[in-house]
């Protein structure tokens, strides 16, 4: 278990249970805590471990063994699977996760099966290539989505296992463990959001009852709290996108359509981007027309240039941008609409587009609880023109879409948003 950290609606886990029952063998789940993940802070590890505590309890109730080890998965999985009849893993689409699965597949002696359970439609079924935009991938996803929007078949295990976390890693002093896991220091070790499948399920129910009816009209407004807040739970695989999409699909409203466009089309476009584009985490990954126009305007005069430190500490002349940066640092989650404005402004206020890209990526991955996610790489690439079309040419941005503060003021009550971020504890 790596990318889909949950005991519920997990196709990889259920595949393992069905196979074990057929072989009359027990199931043992292994979770590796990988120390010093790039940019990850104590906040990310704390959220993840809250989810893992719950996985441990749920698996024990089902008679499924569960062990936790600290270290890179490659050696640990290979050694443990020497005694296994079958190795089952979930799927990941970022470079590191794909690479170690690949290496394990050539070093283990038992059969190995990878089951995708963090998307609605398996990536290769939707498309065999990098898609240009939401418009090109949308029909390909919806052609198959209804086939895949079903919960995995659930069986009880016939041979139970009592193997448990014998290293006691999860029982260790949490603060001490978090310090050894993350190189970077964080001011606080818990965010506004508590990790775990049950919290994600509660957020989903509240969203459907209270926010879905107005999601289509209010989701972009940063002054409103009208979004699901599910991104970090989806990032760690603590809730299945199939569960979320199936719950919302039952409500045939404008809100449901708008939500499924984000959760299924935009999210799976992001997965497609990182899977098929090996440069997904640099400016080189962005469409060639966008890179060319940014290059043409690389020497344009920038009215403001801010250092990384000034950006990190929200010390720019722009109170809306500062509020967004504070929201991210203080809560672990910036509003989605402000993420677009935030990324565009970093492009405007940096010496070069490549510099802007790497600084934005670092801030995003360090401070967003849902950071290091395909959505983050695709979201940033969008700020630099990817998955978008050329617009009217202008300084610095060239033909890449521009955003300004007046646009925010026209649409939203920005003073309310700024005030809320100023008063956040
Ligand atoms: C510069 C930039 C950086 C971003 N960084 C991240 C990131 O690090 N991690 C991350 O998960 N998302 C990122 N996003 C995408 C999006 O902003 C967040 O997924 C969303 O704000 C999460 O809040 P929510 O779950 O309350 O969203 P909701 O509006 O409730 O949406 C539900 C789900 O749909 C998906 N979704 C929503 N908007 C998008 C989108 N634009 N693209 C792809 N999927 C989407 C997410 O999985 C989200 O949880 C980024 C976007 C931009 C422009």
Q: What is the pLDDT of residue 409?
A: 98
Matching fold, domains 1-118 and 197-276:
no
Buried/exposed 270-307: b ≥16 CB within 10 Å, e otherwise: bbbbbbebeebbebebbbebbbebbeebeeeeeeeebe
Quick check: 157 and 21 in contact, CB under 8 A? yes
- The values of phi and psi at residue 121, to 5°, are -105, 130
C-alpha separations of 198 from 17, 164, 383 in Å: 22, 22, 34
Is 50 close to ligand 1, i.e. is its CB under 6 Å away? no
Is 350 close to ligand 1, i.e. is its CB under 6 Å away? no
Write the residue with the smallest CA distance to atom 24 of ligand 1.
Answer: 229
What is the average pLDDT across 96-105?
Answer: 96
Is 92 close to ligand 1, i.e. is its CB under 6 Å away? no
Q: Residue 275 pLDDT > 90, yes or no? A: yes
Is 413 close to ligand 1, i.e. is its CB under 6 Å away? no
* pLDDT tier, 415 (very low <50, low <70, confident <90, very high otherwise): very high
149 is written with which tokens? 């929007």
What is the average pLDDT across 281-309?
Answer: 98
pLDDT digits (tens, 9 = 90+) for 161-190: 988 866 788 888 888 888 888 866 655 555
Quick check: 13 and 156 in contact, CB under 8 A? no
Q: What is the pLDDT of residue 189?
A: 56
Nearest CA-CA partner of 117 in 74, 151, 67, 66: 151
Rounded CA-CA distance 171/99 in Å is 30
Rounded CA-CA distance 257/217 in Å is 12
Is 339 close to ligand 1, i.e. is its CB under 6 Å away? yes
Q: Residue 23 pLDDT > 80, yes or no? A: yes
Number of Cα atoms under 13 Å in the Cβ half of residue 165: 18
Q: Residue 348 pLDDT > 80, yes or no? A: yes
Is 383 close to ligand 1, i.e. is its CB under 6 Å away? yes
Q: Which atom of ligand 1 is nearest to the CA of 269?
A: 43
Is 229 close to ligand 1, i.e. is its CB under 6 Å away? yes
Quick check: 361 and 281 in contact, CB under 8 A? yes
Rounded CA-CA distance 47/169 in Å is 15
Write the residue with the smallest CA distance to atom 49 of ligand 1.
Answer: 231
Domain 1-118: CATH architecture, name and number where available: 3-Layer(aba) Sandwich (3.40)
Is 345 close to ligand 1, i.e. is its CB under 6 Å away? no
Q: What is the pLDDT of residue 36?
A: 82
DSSP class of residue 89 equals E
DSSP class of residue 314 equals T
Nearest CA-CA partner of 47 in 144, 192, 147: 192
What is the average pLDDT across 14-34?
Answer: 97
Q: Which atom of ligand 1 is nearest to the CA of 232?
A: 11
What is the average pLDDT across 102-107?
Answer: 96
Centroid of ligand 1 to alpha carbon of 27 (angstroms):
34
What is the average pLDDT across 116-132?
Answer: 98
Is 371 close to ligand 1, i.e. is its CB under 6 Å away? yes
Write the residue with the smallest CA distance to atom 5 of ligand 1.
Answer: 376
Question: Candidates 3.40.190.10, 1.20.140.10, 1.25.40.80, 1.10.1470.10; correct CATH number of 197-276?
Answer: 1.25.40.80
Write the residue with the smallest CA distance to atom 29 of ligand 1.
Answer: 227
Nearest CA-CA partner of 87 in 75, 99, 98, 78: 78
Q: Which atom of ligand 1 is nearest to the CA of 266?
A: 43
Is 370 close to ligand 1, i.e. is its CB under 6 Å away? yes
Q: Which atom of ligand 1 is nearest to the CA of 241?
A: 47
Domain boundaries, the chain: 1-118, 197-276, 283-423
Q: For a substitution probing ligand 1, which of 262, 280, 283 has the most ligand atoms within 8 Å of its CB? A: 262
What is the average pLDDT across 336-359?
Answer: 98
Rounded CA-CA distance 191/188 in Å is 7
Length of the chain: 425
Angle between helices 336-348 and 353-367 (to 10 degrees): 150
Buried/exposed 159-185: b ≥16 CB within 10 Å, e otherwise: eebeeebeeebbeeebeebbeebbeee
Q: How far is CA 80 from its chain centroid?
A: 29
Is 230 close to ligand 1, i.e. is its CB under 6 Å away? yes
- The values of phi and psi at residue 128, to 5°, are -100, 10
Q: What is the pLDDT of residue 173?
A: 83
Centroid of ligand 1 to alpha carbon of 336 (angstroms):
6
Q: What is the pLDDT of residue 176?
A: 84
Quick check: 242 and 150 in contact, CB under 8 A? yes
What is the average pLDDT across 146-170?
Answer: 89
Single pTM value for the model? 0.97
Q: Which of 104-108, 170-174, 214-218, 263-267 has the lowest mean pLDDT?
A: 170-174
Q: Which atom of ligand 1 is nearest to the CA of 368?
A: 8
Q: Strand 112-115 and strand 65-70: pairing?
A: unpaired
* pLDDT tier, 418 (very low <50, low <70, confident <90, very high otherwise): very high
Exposed/middle/buried for 223, CB within 10 Å: 0-12, 13-18, 19+?
A: middle
Sign, Cα dihedral of 353, 355, 357, 359: negative
Q: What is the pLDDT of residue 281?
A: 97
Q: Which atom of ligand 1 is nearest to the CA of 235?
A: 11
C-alpha separations of 325 from 197, 249, 320 in Å: 28, 33, 9
Q: What is the pLDDT of residue 190?
A: 58
- Enter the CATH code of domain 283-423: 1.10.579.10
Mean pLDDT score across all residues of the chain: 95
Centroid of ligand 1 to alpha carbon of 65 (angstroms):
34
DSSP class of residue 220 equals T
Whole-number percent of the chain with pLDDT over 90? 90
Is 233 close to ligand 1, i.e. is its CB under 6 Å away? no
């Amino acid at each position: 278990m790596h990318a889909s950290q949950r005991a519920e609606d997990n196709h990889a886990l259920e595949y393992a249970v069905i196979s074990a029952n057929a072989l009359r063998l027990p199931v043992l789940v292994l979770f590796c805590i990988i120390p010093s993940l790039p940019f990850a802070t104590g906040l990310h590890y704390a959220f993840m471990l809250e989810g893992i505590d719950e996985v441990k309890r749920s698996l024990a109730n089902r008679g499924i063994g569960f062990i936790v080890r600290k270290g890179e998965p490659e050696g640990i999985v290979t050694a443990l699977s020497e005694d296994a009849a079958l190795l089952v893993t979930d799927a990941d689409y970022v470079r590191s996760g794909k690479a170690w699965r690949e290496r394990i597949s050539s070093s283990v002696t038992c059969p190995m099966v990878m089951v995708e359970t963090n998307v609605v439609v398996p990536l290769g079924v939707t498309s065999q290539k990098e898609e240009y935009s939401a418009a090109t991938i949308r029909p390909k996803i919806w052609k198959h989505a209804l086939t895949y929007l079903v919960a995995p078949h659930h069986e009880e295990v016939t041979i139970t296992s009592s193997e448990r976390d014998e290293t006691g890693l999860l029982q260790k002093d949490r603060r001490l463990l978090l310090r050894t896991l993350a190189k970077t220091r964080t001011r606080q070790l818990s965010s506004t959001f508590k990790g775990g499948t049950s919290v994600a399920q509660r957020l989903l129910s509240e969203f459907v009852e209270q926010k879905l009816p107005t999601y289509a009209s209010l989701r972009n407004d940063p002054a409103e709290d009208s979004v699901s807040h599910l991104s970090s739970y989806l990032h760690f695989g603590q809730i299945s996108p199939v569960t979320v999409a199936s719950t919302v699909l039952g409500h045939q409203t404008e809100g449901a359509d708008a939500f499924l466009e984000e959760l299924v089309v935009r999210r799976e476009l992001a997965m497609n981007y990182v899977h098929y584009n090996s440069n997904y985490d640099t400016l080189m990954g962005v469409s060639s027309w966008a890179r060319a126009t940014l290059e043409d305007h690389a020497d344009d005069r920038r009215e403001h240039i801010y250092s990384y430190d000034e950006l990190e500490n929200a010390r720019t002349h722009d109170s809306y941008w500062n509020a967004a940066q504070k929201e991210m640092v203080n809560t672990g989650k910036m509003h989605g609409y402000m993420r677009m404005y935030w990324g565009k402004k970093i492009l405007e206020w940096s010496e070069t587009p490549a510099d802007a890209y790497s600084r934005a990526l670092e801030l995003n991955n360090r401070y967003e609880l849902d950071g290091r996610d395909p959505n983050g790489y695709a979201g940033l690439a969008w700020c630099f023109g990817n998955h978008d079309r050329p617009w009217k040419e202008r300084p610095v941005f060239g033909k890449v879409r521009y955003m300004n503060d007046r646009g925010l003021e026209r649409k939203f009550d920005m003073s309310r948003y700024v005030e809320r971020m100023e008063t956040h504890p």
